[in-house]
Amino acid sequence: MSGVLKYPVLTGIRRMFLLVSPNETSFEKLEDVPNYVDEAVPFFISLVLLEWAVLYRQGKKPRLNDALGSLSNGLLSLLHGLLFRSTELAGFLWAYTHFNVITLPWDKPATWVLALLGVDFAYYWVHRFGHEVNFIWAAHQTHHSSEEYTLTSALRQSALQKYYSWVFYLPMALFIPPSMFLVHTQFNLIYQFWVHTETIGKLGPLEWILSTPRTFEAEREDEKVVYGLVHNINTWEPLQAQGPGWSPGKPRLGLNSDIPQIEPNPVKYDIDVGVLRTAYIWAHYLIILLVWHPMLAKLRHEMSSVMMAGNIVYIVYSLFVFGSLYDKKWYADYAEMVRVWLFVVIWISGIPLPVSESVCWFYATCAVVWTLGVAMATVSNSDTVNKKQK
């Protein structure tokens, strides 16, 4: 591999498209395996921005509210990893310790290729069961709750799916080294990101051997695909998107009578909150995504479980508030006022926060400005009510 291709940016791009060699991505010890998913985040963001540029050029306007809903669900699905080891990896290690029968060499290309195909094959069945078994669909439906099919929808993940998906990978523990399993579960996730979009068409020969959006059934060319759920959730708030999506007692594949008549051009759930509020929501979300969460991941072995749990609760509450602001819930402004002032109180009390002082001052400014805005809106609404009563 030439030196220029090992430059971090080019290496990250190659990883996005699985253009890596066994030699550079094989490791003997589990702890030596890089966190490829975390390292891919800048490339996820770059590709999303590139897709938005292409959509604008095509005369289509990306929906930022839907994008935030997807990204919030994605971040929600990662939070358990700050406290616990990956469920899939923990299950695999247990099975490998007790049932491994053949120890394939970790440094052989054949082992690397076998692990690649094995993980992708297991993922196929995870996905298929997610659509065919009602109680599993209850978790997987989160991924399909977007009414768009863009790169951000690839990141709309269930926080619950990982608690059953690990079972499908257990047979690999009979012969695949744990380090190789960890490498390819990450690459499988990264690979699935860029094929979750209408902007990219068929993938040619790759569709013969790997899972793609067209793996299960080719779409009819004369019908426009309508994305979303049978009964859409109509909210950008991620906690509501986490299920349930099934009812006990129904057949394995559900009831056809539950399926409504699908219109070719349905009206999508969309609420305009204005440019300033959109900028405000995204500024606070990006602080959590790009600063707060990465710092927590870095400190997860040093921070106490209680402190980490407190940070996770605050992030979950923040995601709830951001979705509520986009939904224009009646309580959203008050919930945001509580959120920013809670941050300020924690900061002033001297409790360590995983963000810089400039971010703390930004929050303090937002707390003051937001409180004034809520007070003015309350007074204005009160005057309006009084005038109507007169």
Give residue 68's identity as a one-letter amino acid code: L
CA separation for the pair 299, 290 (Å, rounded): 15
Quickly list DSSP for 263-309.
PSSPPPP-----HHHHHHHHHHHHHIIIIIHHHHHHHTTTS-HHHHH
Instruction: In the chain, count H helices and then E strands.
Output: 15, 0
Residue 57 neighbours by CB distance under 10 Å:
8
Would you say 131 and 140 are in contact if contact means Cβ atoms under 8 Å apart?
yes
CA separation for the pair 178, 238 (Å, rounded): 32
List the pLDDT tens digit at each of the 390 positions of the chain: 444 444 588 899 999 888 999 999 999 999 999 989 888 888 999 999 999 999 999 898 899 999 999 999 999 999 988 888 788 899 999 999 999 999 899 999 999 999 999 999 999 999 999 988 887 888 899 999 999 999 999 999 999 888 889 999 999 999 999 999 999 999 999 988 888 888 877 777 877 776 566 654 455 566 777 888 877 889 999 999 886 666 677 777 777 777 777 777 778 999 999 999 999 999 999 999 999 999 999 998 899 999 999 999 999 999 999 999 999 999 999 999 999 999 999 999 999 999 999 999 999 999 999 999 999 988 877 656 556 655
**DSSP state letter for 210:** S
Integer CA distances (angstroms), 189 to 123, 291, 294, in order: 10, 22, 18
CA separation for the pair 4, 22 (Å, rounded): 18
Would you say 146 and 62 are in contact if contact means Cβ atoms under 8 Å apart?
no
Q: What's residue 384's pLDDT? A: 63
CA separation for the pair 294, 40 (Å, rounded): 12
Residue 161's SS3 state is: coil
- Residue positions counted in the chain: 390
Q: Which two tokens stand for residue 200?
A: 């990219």
3-state DSSP helix/strand/coil % of the chain, to nearest 5: 65, 0, 35
Quickly list DSSP for 325-363.
HHHT-TTHHHHHHHHHHHHHHHHHTT---SS-HHHHHHH
**DSSP state letter for 90:** H
Q: What's residue 244's pLDDT? A: 66
Q: What's residue 222's pLDDT? A: 65
CA separation for the pair 325, 322 (Å, rounded): 5
**DSSP state letter for 213:** T
Integer CA distances (angstroms), 152 to 32, 44, 50, 171, in order: 30, 9, 12, 31
Is the dihedral angle over the CA atoms 256, 259, 261, 263 positive or is it negative?
negative
Q: Which two tokens stand for residue 239?
A: 């906690």
**DSSP state letter for 150:** S
CA separation for the pair 66, 48 (Å, rounded): 13
What pTM did the predictor assign?
A: 0.89
